[in-house]
Structure formats: C-alpha cells, structure tokens
Structure 1
Amino acid sequence: MQNTDLRSYVKKHPDNKMAWYLLGKEYLKEGQEAKANYCFQQAGEIYEAFERSKAPADIWMDYQDKLVEMSALKEKKKRIRKMWLTLLMFLLLAGLPPADAPGANQGVTDALASALDSGDDHQEVKPEANEKKGADASSVQQGSVFTAAAFGGENDGGGALAAAWAGAGKGVQTTAVLGMQTSDAWAIWQRDMPVKYIMQTNSKGKLTAQSYDAKQCNCEPPEVSAKIKRMALAWTARQETAAALSSAIVSYHKQHKTWPKSVTALAQPFPDNILGETSAEMSEMFPQLLAMHQSKAQAITTGDIGKGESQASQTPDTKKASFADTVGGQPFFAKPLEIVIDKNNHRLALISGSTILRMYEVGLGGERTPEGSYVITDKVVNPNGRSNGEFGSRGMQLSDTNYAIHGTNEPNSIGQDESLGCVRMRKDDVEELFALAPQGTPVRIGKNLLPALMSVPEAKERYTHKLVPKQSNPGKTYHWLN
C-alpha cells in the first residue's frame, strides 16, 4: 500500500501508534531510514512489542488496510454531511430575516456554522488502549479475553488478530486467539481449538505478541499454560450456550411478534418449548442478548443499520457484561443458528454464518428425502412414548410435514439411505442437536452443500444443560416417514 495513505491517516490520527508503526515499515521498504526511525519512535511500545514478537510480518496487513478504509469512509461521510448542512444553512438563511433584524435566529446560524467546522462524528479507536470496546477493565477479573479465527488456506486470522491487538490495554492483560480449521469456505468450530496467538500487556502497559503456531512463525513456540487452556475450553462452551439462547430469542420474536421477558418464556412445556435445555448462565446472558436483538430490530425499522450495530455493542452496565471475556464484549456467534443437510455425503451441520459448530453423520432416504427449506416446528422428547422407539429419544419435525430429524433404533442405518425420507441420527448426536437448535431453526436440505468431515465433541465436552420439563407429546402419535 502507498505510504501516502498512511501518512494522511496519521496526520488525522496522531495518537494511533499502530498506524505510526505501519508507516515506518513502509518507509523502511523504500530505504528512507530516517523517516522510518521517526515513525518507530512515535509508535513507542507498539514498535517494541511487535519487533520482539514471533508474529509474521504480514499478519497486520488486514489491519493496515482497514485503517485506510475506515479513514476514507469517514471522509466520505464528512463530505456528505457538509453538503447537506450547507444546503440546510442556505435554506434556513433564505427564509430568515437579516442578522441585525429584531428576532433574527442567530442561534441556528451559529449551530450550523459550528457543525460545519466540527471534526469526525466518532472518536477514533486506538489500538493500544481500547478499554471501552466491549467491557470495562474491572469486569475482566483475570484480565483474559478470547476470540477465534479461521486459519488455513487463504485465512491467516488477520482480522481477529487486529481486533485482539485493538482490544489490548491496561485492563486486558491477556488476549488469546483460538484457531479454527478450514474446509472450503467453512470454518470449523471445536471445543478444544488450539491457541494460535497470545497478546499480553504488563503492568506498565507494554505489549507483546507470541505465536503458538510453529509453521506460521517458523519457530519453536512455548507451551500454552494449562490455565489458558482451561479458560479457553470454558469460553467455547459459553459461546455455544449464547448461540442457542440468542437464536431462541430470535425464534420467539418471529413467532409472537414481541420479545420474551425471560429465559423461562423460551423454556415452556410442549409445544412452547423453543429451548430444549437451559442453564443458570442463560439467565445471566439474557439481558445483554435481548438488548442486542432489540437494537438491531429497531435499526432495521428505522433504516439505520450502522447505528443499531453500534448500540448493540454497548450494555447499560459494562461491569456486569456477560461477554467481558470476549474480544469486543459481544457473543462470538453473531448470526442465528441454522441446520444444513447434505444428501451426497450424509452430513448434517449446525452452522452460524460460515462457521460449522457441529457436523454429524446421518441416515437419509436417498431421493425420498426432500430438498428445500424448512424450519423446526415440533420439538419432542421420546416421540414414540419411550426413548428406544423407532424415532429414538428426540424428534424435530420439519415445517409441520411428515418429515423430521430424529433418533433411531437402527444405528447401523446411519450413513445409509434406508429411511423413507426422514433424517436419522445417533442418540448422543440427536440429543445434542435438540439441546442446541431452538424451535424455529431454519433447515436447508440439498446436495453438495457441506464438506465430508465430522466435528463432534468427546462425550465429556458435549453440549448439555438441564432438560426442560414436559417436552413429550402424549396426545399425538407421530407418523413421520421413517
């Protein structure tokens, strides 16, 4: 990238030390060492931290591009705003009496003139001290926050690393980036994802970055501490809980055209069992997730999506923020959960956006299994009245049809086309999916939709909480096409 862009940026944002560092690197490439050294001096601890780290030199290119992109966007907004303000001033002044006339509206004119001379609308986020992004420093008890990114193919985790660096500050001593494997355009989420990078801030505010990927850094990285591994495992589990709860809130709103008042509203007996399982931490997360969805919905109504996202990133009391352990202070999974079923390779995936949370092997019915889009309607525990019936211990009906995702008493049929059209799952798999996917979850069935892999946690790491009572339906005999 031309250093003219960065030079323009640092003039407007002289406190952004990362920008100074990147500009210095550009000057160094051009052989202008004196200018480069000046930039490195302005970068301060950012220069020291990065030069001593094991991170590859090109890992921050995404961040560098975003700096210039954000600056250009702000300039465009500023020009548009000035154009409208100028037009507004002209219209107002055209209808106002002379300034020396009795009752002249000098206040309006002064306000407009002040607005025309004002700077950017939003305060610049500084990479070295973004304490307000997500959670207050005091809300992170151990000073450790986490995020995850796709690594592999063309993905180097640059976006997540830039966000992690931007979130580093006095209140965040440790920021860990977990690595998701990739397959085609998918990122594969797992409970035990490896730590790829750790950024740390000492008591004096000095930053360091350490790569834990031997291939990427071409080094012999140190061992990740057992404490960080335990915290990372707990973090991934919490993000799955948040994904299920967040999707349930969306489903409730679609069904009732109003917002739920509590987790209890989502966890009623059949047929109002939007959630199949609940936990105490859901009640903790609920207020922030509800506020996030309400802000987004209001923004869609008013047409101001950007404002809605900005409001959604804030909580009334950051000291009680549920996602203070997450970079950005928001749940990792931003999009509601969906189910995708691939008839070619007998796979069922639970996804959020382009991230696969789970990938199960399933039994199908070949051409008898219909293709198309559905939603989960009935969610039933023991659809045959017992856990070992032909539909197993769980059943999820597809759009009030005779097709369903359910368990089976013929486990050898998994991976085969032996059903009359339904989707068969192993007992542990269907019970986990039942717990994760709320009523109202979209289901898409087709061919060549998913990679031929599996991503299922070990038994001790399965998603499991407290089963909602009375989810059977004794008043109905199901005749799904099994």
Structure 2
Amino acid sequence: MQNTDLRSYVKKHPDNKMAWYLLGKEYLGEGQEAKANYCFQQAGEVYEAFERSKAPADIWMDYQEKLVEVSEQKEKKRRKRKMWLTLLMFLLLAGLPPADAPGGKHEVADALSAALETEDDASDAQPVKEERGASKAPVEQSNVFTAAAFGGKNDGGAALAAVWSISGTGVHTTAVLGMQASDKWLVWKRDMPVKYIVQTNSKGKLTAQSYDAKQCNCKPPEASSKIKRLGLAWTSKQETAAVLSSAIISYHKQHKTWPKSVTALAQPFPNNILGETSAEMSEMFPALLAMSQAKVQAGEGSSTGDGKTQVVETSEAKKAPFADTLGGQPFLEKPLEIIIDKSNHRLALISGSTIVRMYEVGLGGKRTPEGSYVIADKVVNPNGHANGEFGSRGMQLSNTNYAIHGTNEPDSIGLDESLGCVRMSKADVEELFALAPQGTPVRIGKDLLPELTPAPQAEQRYKYKLVPQQNNPNKTYHWLN
C-alpha cells in the first residue's frame, strides 16, 4: 500500500496506532526519517512492541491490505447511509409544515445535517464520557485461539492480520498456534507451540509478543503454563467439533433428514455413525447442526425427504460455543476424510488441507486396491474377538471385502503382508475408529501424503466414551486380511 493511502487512513483514524506505525515504516523506507520518527511517536506502545519482536515484513503487507479493505468497506457504508439520509431529508422537507412553525423544517434539517456530518462510523468514534451516576459496564475478558502455518515461506502473517482486523474494545488475548507446513499440507497437533500472543486492553490498544525465535530474531520468553493448558483444551475441542460435524453431515446423507441429538448419531450397530461420544458434543451439537444445515442449503439445497426445509432456530443454536476461536467458527471446518498412501504406508485423517492424524499402516502391495470408498460397517471386536486377526476394531470399505482394521501381527505394520486390507496397531485403529464417523470418504493411491512422523503420543490421543453394542454377532467377516 502506498503511504498516500495510509495518510488518508490515518487522517480518518488518528487513534489507530498500528496505522501510524505502518506509515512510519513507509516513510522510513523512503528515507524520510523525520516524518517516520513522528509517526513512530504517535504509534507509542505498538512501535515498542513490534520493534522488539521484529515480526516479519509480510505481516505488515497483510495488515496494510486489510486496512485498505476495511477502510473501503466503511467508505461504502458511509456513502450508502448518506444517500439514504439525504433522501429522507428530502422527503421530510417536502411534507413538513412551514419553516417558522414550531418543530418545523429547521429543526429536522439541523438534526439530519448533524447526522450526515457525524455518521462516518460508530466503531471509529471515541467513547463518550460517562454521565454522572451512570454505571460502568463490566469489561468482558476472553481468550481466543487460532492456528496458522509456520516454516518455509509461512510466517503466520495472515492469521496475525486477521486478529488485528477484528479487534475492538474489550479485553482480549488471542494466541496464534503454529502448524507445521509440508508441501501443500498443514500438520495439526494437540500441542502446537504458541507463536504469537496479541492482546487488546479495555481501551482497544494492541500489544503483541512473538514466541518464535526464528520469526523475531530474538530470544523470546516462554509462553505461560496457563496459555499452553488452554491451547491444549482448544485443540482437543476442535477435534471433537470436526468429528461431530462430519457425523451430522454423514447422517444427513444417509437419512435425507437431520439428527435431533447426539444420541441419534451414536446408536448400536449398524447405526453407529459415531463410535465414541463426549458430554462436550451435546453442548456444541445445536450450533454445529445449524452450521451444517446452512452449508447444505447454500451448496446443495436442503432435502429432508419430504421436500421441506428443516432449520433449527432454538436459543441454544444461537449460543457461541466457539467464542474461543477466532471468527467464532470451528477451525477444522471441512468434513473429515481418510487418505491411504501406498507409497509410504501412511494413513491420514484430514480436514481440507490439514492433516489431523497420521498413522503408519500395513498394506498388501498390489493386492490393496486403489480408488475411492466410504467407511461402511464400523465394528467393535470383529467376529467376536478383540485379539483376533482383525484386532479390536474394523471399518469396512464400502460394500467390499476390504477394511481398515487392527491386527494380531503388529510386526507387519509398515510392510506389504496383507491380502489387501489396511492393518493398524491397536492404539491407532481404536483412535481412528473414534475419530472417523461412518460414511467418512476414503481414498487409496500412491504419492498422496508427505513423509511425516506418524501417530500422537499416548497422552494426546482422542479418548471418549465408547458407544455400547457396536459388535455384530450376526455376521462373520471375511475381509482380505
């Protein structure tokens, strides 16, 4: 952005310290040190914070672009409102009594003129002084999280700019967690490191701290144990939300209607779309159901079997279970899928371009088919045995004799020794069984996934309450193990 744009923005928003700082950086790049120093003085604590953290230059470019975008949006709103106010003034003046009548044209015209002169944007105005005797509203404090790619050319700039662009009055602490970038993939982990923390105080002032030595070219402090603990809870919650929203979509595809509760998703076999549940799912179900309905209506149309639209409008659905997530929406917004790479014996559970889990698996070489499938039967202790050839969990691939299952030959993991099925270790297959709802798409091929360290540590596994009666005593499975 040219500094002419920044000068215009600063003129309209003289209290935006970040804008002053960016304008100073522009002047400094042009060799106008005197003007730059003046801007840095106006920037105050923002200048101090970012000169210490030495955040990457790309962040400034992202933020500058966001400033222009927001400014243009505000200008459009201002022009539109001015047009309507002008029209209203014309209509009122056309039908009002004579100008010298009490309460006539002059009073209305003065009021509307004042509105036209002061309506730039309520969000840019300074808070008015409290009237005597008025009670001060309590300031709500919140801890918000998001995640972004770091490594290579990725520095989290877009996420950091997004934090600033939506910040306003109120006390907020927003932590940006770092995801590893590998080719086109982003790697999700429970214990992703804190890369930045941006804070907004009660007056809307911003401060930022980098916790990444590579990004700030400094020796940053250690992130607090509290923010790390909250971060772990946040990543766990995002996984639960991804599982539940994927199960809701799967239920809708199967039944052409919407589930009324988590219980509808967690039935005994063969209606066990969810293999495991948690109390947290019930809390977020109304909101995720409403979001899923909105997506289907926007993209596919809504079908409930009888041609009618079914939308949840309960007060529960309007609550904000994701107020701790930047933007107020689940971070893992794409439905879960499974990719199996025959080239490196890897199985990944993904959401869009984010790898949520990666496991090493045993395959059958050419005997393992390539193509697209879905998780059909989800069975606990296939054929009645937890330690049999199919292990403690089995997930059949469409209407075939191939499945993802456990094994009583753990040494075969990473090798091509099966007759075509996908073998997994006990801990891995039980976690995948809990994470991947019935109906999850599965794609098998070659050279699909990066070489990454598989499986999380035991304490970071996805563990919830197993749905009862998920065995199938009425069928003997003959999967090609």
TM-score by length of 2: 0.79
Change in Cα spacing, 1:220 to 1:396, as seen in structure 2 (3 Å) is: same
Conserved in 2, the CA contact under 8 Å of 1:3 and 1:23? yes
Match of 2:329 in 1: 330
Match of 1:160 in 2: 159
Partner of 1:252: helix, strand, or coil? helix
Change in Cα spacing, 1:207 to 1:377, as seen in structure 2 (3 Å) is: same
**What are the within-5 Å matches in structure 2 for residues 343-362 of structure 1?**
343-362=342-361
Identity %: 79
**Offset of 1:480 from its aligned partner?**
1.1
**What are the within-5 Å matches in structure 2 for residues 456-467 of structure 1?**
456-467=455-466
Change in Cα spacing, 1:456 to 1:264, as seen in structure 2 (3 Å) is: same
Match of 2:444 in 1: 445
1:60 aligned to 2:63? no
Cα distance in 2 for partners of 1:16, 1:207 equals: 9
Instruction: Name the aligned partner's letter for residue 440 of structure 2.
Output: T
Q: For residues 57-93 of structure 1, what are the alpha-carbon distances to aligned partners after superposition, in whole Å with 9 as ceiling and x for unaligned?
A: 44332222334456668989999x99xx9xxxxxxxx
Match of 1:24 in 2: 24
Q: For residues 422-456 of structure 1, what are the alpha-carbon distances to aligned partners after superposition, in whole Å with 9 as ceiling and x for unaligned?
A: 11100100000010011111111111011122242
Match of 1:377 in 2: 376
Cα distance in 2 for partners of 1:457, 1:356 equals: 12
Conserved in 2, the CA contact under 8 Å of 1:55 and 1:209? no
Structure 2 gaps, min length 5:
84-93, 96-111, 128-136, 303-310
**Offset of 1:17 from its aligned partner?**
4.8
Partner of 2:383: helix, strand, or coil? coil
Instruction: Name the aligned partner's letter for residue 216 of structure 1.
Output: Q
**Offset of 1:339 from its aligned partner?**
0.6
Stretch of structure 1 that moved more, 451-460 or 273-282: 451-460
Cα distance in 1 for partners of 2:427, 2:288 equals: 28
**What are the within-5 Å matches in structure 2 for residues 89-168 of structure 1?**
143-168=142-167
Partner of 1:464: helix, strand, or coil? coil
Conserved in 1, the CA contact under 8 Å of 2:56 and 2:155? no
Stretch of structure 1 that moved more, 35-44 or 330-339: 35-44
Partner of 1:431: helix, strand, or coil? helix
Q: For residues 198-236 of structure 1, what are the alpha-carbon distances to aligned partners after superposition, in whole Å with 9 as ceiling and x for unaligned?
A: 122345544321111112211111122111111111111
Conserved in 1, the CA contact under 8 Å of 2:379 and 2:472? yes
Cα distance in 1 for partners of 2:384, 2:319 equals: 43
RMSD: 3.7
**Offset of 1:371 from its aligned partner?**
0.9
Cα distance in 2 for partners of 1:462, 1:32 equals: 55
Cα distance in 1 for partners of 2:314, 2:194 equals: 28
Match of 2:273 in 1: 274
Match of 1:133 in 2: none
Conserved in 2, the CA contact under 8 Å of 1:139 and 1:324? no
**Offset of 1:45 from its aligned partner?**
5.3
Cα distance in 2 for partners of 1:375, 1:403 equals: 11
Cα distance in 1 for partners of 2:289, 2:447 equals: 35
Conserved in 2, the CA contact under 8 Å of 1:269 and 1:470? yes
Conserved in 2, the CA contact under 8 Å of 1:366 and 1:417? yes
Change in Cα spacing, 1:301 to 1:271, as seen in structure 2 (3 Å) is: closer
Cα distance in 2 for partners of 1:212, 1:176 equals: 10
**What are the within-5 Å matches in structure 2 for residues 215-364 of structure 1?**
215-300=214-299, 320-364=319-363
Partner of 2:419: helix, strand, or coil? coil
Cα distance in 2 for partners of 1:406, 1:231 equals: 34
Which one has a bigger Cα radius of gyration? 2
Cα distance in 1 for partners of 2:478, 2:10 equals: 67
Stretch of structure 1 that moved more, 460-469 or 59-68: 59-68
Partner of 1:66: helix, strand, or coil? helix
Q: For residues 349-380 of structure 1, what are the alpha-carbon distances to aligned partners after superposition, in whole Å with 9 as ceiling and x for unaligned?
A: 01111111111000011111111111111111
Cα distance in 1 for partners of 2:373, 2:77 equals: 41
Match of 1:415 in 2: 414
**Offset of 1:472 from its aligned partner?**
1.0
Q: For residues 258-289 of structure 1, what are the alpha-carbon distances to aligned partners after superposition, in whole Å with 9 as ceiling and x for unaligned?
A: 22111111111111111110000111111111
Match of 2:3 in 1: 3
**Offset of 1:382 from its aligned partner?**
1.0
Conserved in 2, the CA contact under 8 Å of 1:148 and 1:178? yes
Q: For residues 8-48 of structure 1, what are the alpha-carbon distances to aligned partners after superposition, in whole Å with 9 as ceiling and x for unaligned?
A: 55567667553443233223322344554565566565445
Conserved in 2, the CA contact under 8 Å of 1:188 and 1:455? no
Cα distance in 2 for partners of 1:27, 1:294 equals: 50
Cα distance in 2 for partners of 1:427, 1:280 equals: 25
**Offset of 1:171 from its aligned partner?**
3.6
Cα distance in 2 for partners of 1:271, 1:472 equals: 9
Cα distance in 2 for partners of 1:423, 1:138 equals: 56
Change in Cα spacing, 1:42 to 1:249, as seen in structure 2 (3 Å) is: farther
**Offset of 1:400 from its aligned partner?**
1.5
Instruction: Name the aligned partner's letter for residue 381 of structure 2.
Output: N
Cα distance in 2 for partners of 1:78, 1:441 equals: 47
Stretch of structure 1 that moved more, 252-261 or 435-444: 252-261
Cα distance in 2 for partners of 1:179, 1:193 equals: 6
Structure 1 gaps, min length 5:
86-98, 101-113, 130-136, 304-311
Cα distance in 1 for partners of 2:466, 2:364 equals: 30
Conserved in 2, the CA contact under 8 Å of 1:53 and 1:208? no
Instruction: Name the aligned partner's letter for residue 449 of structure 1.
Output: L
Cα distance in 2 for partners of 1:262, 1:401 equals: 31
Cα distance in 2 for partners of 1:11, 1:438 equals: 54
Conserved in 2, the CA contact under 8 Å of 1:420 and 1:481? yes
Match of 1:426 in 2: 425
Change in Cα spacing, 1:140 to 1:465, as seen in structure 2 (3 Å) is: farther
Conserved in 1, the CA contact under 8 Å of 2:148 and 2:179? yes
Cα distance in 2 for partners of 1:361, 1:239 equals: 23
Conserved in 1, the CA contact under 8 Å of 2:336 and 2:350? yes
Partner of 2:358: helix, strand, or coil? strand
Partner of 1:378: helix, strand, or coil? strand
Stretch of structure 1 that moved more, 149-158 or 206-215: 206-215
